[in-house]
């Protein structure tokens, strides 16, 4: 059996301001660094053997305290980056709608191949995250911590939800939402993923509390 510990990065100033980051390399703010330490304090009790992270700084910085606590090295993985929002990165939703209302409307329609100018489609995100998940399944480690981003985690959770479906849906828009530094856990055995916890913030002080599944 494999167990996957999936973590969204801690808070950044762009998160606090409601700005889209996409693949911008925005660092954690003070609160985000505290969340990273709290996440490490919680996850260090589990027998994690490998830590994989998006190579963007906010994810790597969230993973680093756990790596130090367990004596491991974070493995950077560019395929775990957030979806690219192109020229609208760094903008609020309201600013995006003013700059390019037609592209935003198409994006919101759920079109699987829609892209914002200079950005990436959901189809591309789903393809690269599926490849990472398949490699993890085939790999030697039984307990893996994975640090990434909200959109990327939504894609990974969707893959796990649809696993074994003979006609899997390629994307479930907004199927999952994740708070900063939230933890999900899933186990894989007998060719099936089972969610143990989704979007838990029980380990964080002063945060919204989400009941595990």
Q: Which residues are tagged catalytic?
A: 9, 82
Contact 70, 106 (CB under 8 A): no
R_g over Cα of the chain: 17
Q: Calculate the alpha carbon distances from 210 to 63, 152, 200, 201 in Å.
A: 21, 20, 5, 6
Nearest CA to 76 among 60, 92, 91?
60
The answer to whether the Cα torsion of 145, 132, 114, 27 is positive or negative is positive
């Amino acid at each position: 059996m494999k167990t996957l510990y999936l973590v969204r990065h801690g808070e950044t100033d762009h998160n606090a301001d409601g700005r889209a980051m996409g693949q911008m390399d925005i660092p954690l703010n003070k609160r985000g660094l505290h969340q990273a330490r709290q996440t490490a304090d919680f996850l260090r009790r589990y027998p994690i053997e490998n830590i994989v992270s998006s190579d963007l700084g906010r994810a790597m910085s969230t993973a680093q305290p756990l790596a130090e606590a367990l004596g491991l090295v974070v493995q950077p993985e560019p395929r775990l980056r957030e979806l690219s929002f192109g020229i609208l990165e760094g903008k609020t939703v309201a600013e995006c709608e003013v700059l390019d209302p037609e592209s935003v409307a198409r994006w919101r329609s759920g079109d699987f191949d829609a892209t914002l100018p200079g950005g990436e489609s959901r189809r591309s995100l789903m393809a690269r995250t599926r490849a990472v998940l398949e490699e993890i399944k085939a790999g030697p480690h039984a307990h893996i911590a994975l640090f990434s981003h909200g959109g990327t985690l939504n894609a990974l959770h969707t893959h796990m939800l649809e696993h074994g479906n003979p006609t899997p849906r390629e994307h479930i828009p907004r199927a999952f939402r994740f708070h900063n530094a939230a933890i999900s856990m899933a186990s894989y055995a007998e060719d099936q993923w089972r969610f143990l916890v989704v979007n838990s913030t029980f380990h964080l002080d002063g945060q919204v509390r989400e009941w595990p599944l």
